[in-house]
Chains A and B, each alone.
Chain A
Amino acid sequence: MLKVENLRVVYFGIVSVLHGVSLQAESNSITALLGGNGSGKSTLMRTISGILPIFEGEIQEGEVKFDEVVVSKMKAVDITKRIRLTYLMEGRPIFEYLNVKENLKASASCRWDSEVQNDIEGILTYFPTLRGRLQSKAGYLSGGEQQMLAMGMALMTNPKFLLLDEPSLGLAPRIVKEIFDIIKKINEERKIGIFLSEQNAIVALKISSYGYVMDNGRVVMDGSSRELMDNADIQEAYLGSADQKEKDYKEAKRYKRRKRWLG
């Protein structure tokens, strides 16, 4: 189980981004993390995966534990290798100038063994569209294929737990559905725990069992995905309100006030 306890993170020593975040994600299920731009989702993921120092970030308080092991002091490479927790960055972090096969091989670097070839085959069963494009440069794949490749690469690190940062970013709705079906399948078949951040709340809450909502560096709400889906505030803020009538500026301001009160 992934446990984040009272995490406070600053960038460049002064820019405070997370103001005491606590949450937990079960090892075998899918947990969703919702929130708007700049709410601190990516920072939280960077902190958990240990690549925060590269972004000049620093943990001021609190810690991250995975199965009771404190990971917030570990290096990123060790977190991937020993804890087997892999972070898939947002925006399809593939190696553009390598071909698809080389991409998959490169991401298996932390555990290079004779199994790599078999694993590539195994992973291609989730992403059949990639099979025909093994020799083409990853930079020339379509957006959906690139996201699938990125997920395949994350699987090549042989993870027990995956952090997915906005897997739907910049993809067509049909592709988003396909990607999320694959995420669900991976979770069920490989027993990999998944913690995914999303702006597309509907798809995220549909496949997850529990969800957190972040705003302005804090967790402002949490509950089972069903509860969140039915929650009036969530519906208004992320799912589009039930009644479609236009709102005037006064009401929008009231909503802002209310949101701040929540935090």
Chain B
Amino acid sequence: MVFFLQALAVGMIKGAVYVIIALSIVIIYKSSQVFNFAVGEFCVMGAIFFFVASKTGLPFIPMILIFLILTMLGGVVIEKIVIQPLMGRDPLSTTLVTIGLSIFLVGLFQITFGSHPEPLELKLPDLTCSFGNLFFTSEQIWTIVFTTASMVGLLLFYQFTRWGIIMRATAEGQVKAMAFGINTSFVLTLTWVAAAVVSALAGLVVAWTGSLQYNMGVVGLLAIPVVLVGGLDSIGGCIVGGLLVGIVEALTTFYLESALGLEGFRAVTPYLCLLLVLMIRPSGLFGQVHIERV
């Protein structure tokens, strides 16, 4: 039983990382119907900026500020150069461009950052805790905290703030939004900045629990089944999809792989989940069901 609970907990924590990455994808998809394939590289970018900021030797708060500013700037620059010129076009064009962007960024990171893995130090209060035979490291607890914070923050933002409503409106049609005086290019910038910050958080967690390397962006690919399971435009769907995929993956590792000798089978299970979900609900578990008036 303890073994099962530990597996469940590991799965949830793994899932929490997926949730943050998925959130970043959903933010962009919601306001422009673009699927950001470069999300993994956004994570790496954030982690690298944090690494740079932590090397300045400043105290904690200013360092975090520098990290945030760098990340936002990164988001703005990428959006202005790569995304803005394609505004008003078919979202598919932009989606394809993000694949190119991802390849370019991997190369850029390798040139500027180098190929060696670096440890990432994050001095946060120790939250290590244990319940009976269950044991959680401080990193794991903080991952949960980060995920919950970004989740709740985004949900409140989209539902209640002015810019949240405007972003949702722009998602339905940039031309329409423009005709009602919405500054769509600013909304687009805002979207990518928000996505950059959220993915930076994910990158931070990933690099913190492992190490920072230029090609760790492949973790972004793991989030693809997560968003598709949860629904591409649903923030709530991210958490369900993320936890589902994380738990399934952990249970596979703990039970199937060792018992059946299926080494590496855990990489397949998220996609099996995805297949099952899409057969039953084509727009994901919580995806927006297309409005059709009869």
Chain A's nearest CB lies how many Å from the CB of B189?
Answer: 13
Given contacts A54-B174, A77-B183, A81-B181, contact A137 B168 (CB under 8 A): no
Contact B178 A77 (CB under 8 A): yes
Contact A157 B291 (CB under 8 A): no
Chain A's nearest CB lies how many Å from the CB of B106?
Answer: 33
Contact A157 B180 (CB under 8 A): yes
Contact B181 A157 (CB under 8 A): yes
CB within 8 Å of B: which A112-133 residues: 112
Contact A140 B175 (CB under 8 A): no
A197 within 8 Å of B (CB atoms): no
Among A30-38, A85-93, A219-227, A231-239, the stretch that binds chain B is A85-93
Among residues of B, the one whose C-beta sits closest to the C-beta of A143 is: B293
Contact A102 B174 (CB under 8 A): no
Contact A87 B291 (CB under 8 A): no
Chain B residue contacts of A98, Cβ below 8 A: 165, 168-169, 172
Q: CA separation between A148 and B179, bound complex, in Å?
A: 16
Task: Give the A interface residue count (CB, 8 A).
Answer: 34
Task: Give the B interface residue count (CB, 8 A).
Answer: 23
Q: CA separation between A77 and B293, bound complex, in Å?
A: 31
Chain A residue contacts of B171, Cβ below 8 A: 97
**Which of B174, B181, B293 interacts with A110 by CB under 8 Å?**
B181
Contact A80 B291 (CB under 8 A): no
Chain B residue contacts of A96, Cβ below 8 A: 172, 291
Among residues of B, the one whose C-beta sits closest to the C-beta of A116 is: B162
Given contacts A51-B175, A95-B172, A97-B288, contact A153 B293 (CB under 8 A): no
Given contacts A54-B88, A112-B162, contact A97 B168 (CB under 8 A): yes
Q: CA separation between A97 and B169, bound complex, in Å?
A: 8
Chain A's nearest CB lies how many Å from the CB of B191?
Answer: 15
Contact A54 B178 (CB under 8 A): yes
What 1/0 mask marks residues of chain B from 127 to 167 whose CB sits below 8 Å from any chain A CB?
00000000000000000000000000000000000100110
Among residues of B, the one whose C-beta sits closest to the C-beta of A111 is: B181
Contact B169 A95 (CB under 8 A): yes
B182 within 8 Å of A (CB atoms): yes
Given contacts A54-B175, A97-B291, A139-B293, contact A109 B168 (CB under 8 A): no
Chain B residue contacts of A140, Cβ below 8 A: 291, 293
Chain B residue contacts of A27, Cβ below 8 A: none
Chain A residue contacts of B291, Cβ below 8 A: 96-97, 137, 139-140
Given contacts A95-B172, A139-B291, contact A102 B165 (CB under 8 A): yes
CB within 8 Å of B: which A202-230 residues: none
Chain B's nearest CB lies how many Å from the CB of A42?
Answer: 12
A105 within 8 Å of B (CB atoms): yes
CB within 8 Å of B: which A41-67 residues: 49, 51, 54-55
Chain A's nearest CB lies how many Å from the CB of B259?
Answer: 46
Given contacts A106-B169, A109-B162, A140-B293, contact A76 B178 (CB under 8 A): yes
Contact B165 A105 (CB under 8 A): yes
Q: CA separation between A157 and B181, bound complex, in Å?
A: 7
A154 within 8 Å of B (CB atoms): yes
Contact B181 A77 (CB under 8 A): yes
A-B contact pairs, 16 of them (CB 8 A): A54-B174, A77-B181, A80-B179, A80-B181, A81-B181, A86-B179, A87-B179, A89-B176, A93-B176, A98-B169, A106-B180, A106-B182, A110-B180, A137-B291, A139-B291, A153-B180
